[in-house]
Structure 1
Amino acid sequence: METKKSNEKRLDSMRMPLALTGFLFTGGLILASFSYVTPVEEELISQASAGDEVVHFVQEEPDTPQNEPQFDEEEYVAPPQAQIDSIDNTPTPPVAMPPVPPPAPTPGPTVIRTPPPAIIDFPDVEAAFPGGQAELTRFIVNNIEYPEVSIDMEEQGRVYLSFVVEKDGSITGVKVERGVSKDLDREAKRIVRAMPKWEAGEVKGKKVRTRCSLPIVFTLR
């Protein structure tokens, strides 16, 4: 029993070396089969090396066809590009609105102006100075002031005036119809405006506006 166990241990210890030996032997056989050359092959190789002529194989390039169409090379032209103007980002100024017109004024009460009564040149009864022509002459002589400039210039003459005697006797619209000088004309108008109220003229018994004329004489002595 012990002898059998010892044999098994011996076999186990020799198993690995035997396997390695088998691998080495098999590899040697494979290598020898590739390197072994037969005598016939050696003779063929020697004949080939001692041959009279070595054949060179030259690969010829295919002939270019003579009538191959030629293609003209066209220059590539880029299509025109549209020019884009720069965008103005400036804000548009606000549109000024026209000012609102003020409301129309409310119309006030309508004033109807009655035209003044007509001035009568030839009334039935003439307008007169209070007291008559004598009092008129006395008033002019007592109130006249001969201008100093007219005295120095020796200006004298007759100034014709016209004026209107209103219905109440007041005098309006004094006007020089024919004068002598600026200073004498001014003094004549002053005298007429300074007169008291006259007696108004009449037409068919009613007082009317009457136009009168009066000459004032300036005389140097």
Structure 2
Amino acid sequence: MEIKKTESVDIERVKWALALIGFLFVSGVLLASFTFETAVEDQGLSDSQISENNSGVEVQEQPEEEVVQEEQQEQVEATPPPTEEVVEKENEEKEPKAAPPVAPPPKVKPAKKKAKKAEIIDFPDVEASFPGGAAALQSYIVNNIQYPETSIDMDEQGKVYLSFVVGADGTISQVKVERGVSKDLDREAKRVVRSMPKWVPGEAGGKKVATRCRLPIVFTLN
């Protein structure tokens, strides 16, 4: 009796083990088939989506390329050809510019030294005099005076007072009418004084100096 119980127990254990193995095998086959189908569907969807996207991209990009090409053609056609002026300006810029001529420095003339004016003395130690004295002076005036015709016609007479400078060398200059009679008589009196020869110069401190002299000339009609 004990031997039978042991055999039955062993058979039961084997059955359960086989059943468990079969269940696991079936479950594994089902799981593998389900996973394979899901992967195939996902791959099919991704491929279709990719093909659709690619086809859509091709449809959208084709007109953009044509528009860009047309715009480029329009820009190329709208660009004017370079004119001759631009070419000439480029040539001018390439040509080296000659350096401007250097102007010579301005010539500086040496400043002329102004001659120092001699001091005119009104009251020298020795007065200037006509060569030969007062009588010779009176004779010179009478012999050289020319009475103006207009003054004769108008009966013009009088005394013309003149002043002049006798330089250190005896020359006469700066003849002026201090008090006159008429225009014609004054002009004649100045002419006579200017025509005189050199005087004997005056002296101051033992040296010949320029002095100022005064002389009256009388005009009378006989």
Tell me the TM-score normalized by structure 1.
0.52
Alpha-carbon offset, residue 110 of structure 1:
2.0
Q: Which letter maps to 2:211?
A: T
Matched, 1:157 2:158: yes
Question: Could you say what secondary structure the match of 2:209 adopts?
Answer: strand
- Residue number in structure 1 paired with 2:147: 146
Alpha-carbon offset, residue 120 of structure 1:
0.5
Determine the C-alpha separation between the residues in 1 that align with 2:207 and 2:187.
Answer: 34
- Residue number in structure 2 paired with 1:214: 215
Determine the C-alpha separation between the residues in 1 that align with 2:141 and 2:120.
Answer: 25
Choose 1 or 2 for highest CA Rg.
1
CA distance 1:139–1:106, shift in 2 (3 Å) = same
Determine the C-alpha separation between the residues in 1 that align with 2:147 and 2:104.
Answer: 60
- Residue number in structure 1 paired with 2:137: 136
Task: Number of aligned residue pairs: give it.
Answer: 122
Question: Could you say what secondary structure the match of 1:126 adopts?
Answer: coil
- Residue number in structure 1 paired with 2:70: none
Alpha-carbon offset, residue 106 of structure 1:
2.5
Structure 1: stretches of 5+ with no match in the other structure? 1-101
Structure 2: stretches of 5+ with no match in the other structure? 1-102
Cα offsets for 1:173-219 (capped at 9, x unmatched): 11111100000001000110111110000011100001001000001
Cα offsets for 1:5-57 (capped at 9, x unmatched): xxxxxxxxxxxxxxxxxxxxxxxxxxxxxxxxxxxxxxxxxxxxxxxxxxxxx
Determine the C-alpha separation between the residues in 1 that align with 2:104 and 2:178.
Answer: 50
- Residue number in structure 2 paired with 1:200: 201
Higher-helix-fraction structure: 2
Determine the C-alpha separation between the residues in 2 that align with 1:103 and 1:152.
Answer: 67
Runs of at least 4 residues off by over 3 Å: 102-105
- Residue number in structure 2 paired with 1:90: none
- Residue number in structure 2 paired with 1:186: 187
Cα offsets for 1:149-191 (capped at 9, x unmatched): 0000000000000000011111011111110000000100011
Tell me the TM-score normalized by structure 2.
0.52
Give the % identical residues.
68
Once superposed, what is the RMSD of the aligned Cα atoms? 1.8
Question: Could you say what secondary structure the match of 1:199 adopts?
Answer: coil
Determine the C-alpha separation between the residues in 2 that align with 1:103 and 1:118.
Answer: 44
Question: Could you say what secondary structure the match of 1:185 adopts?
Answer: helix
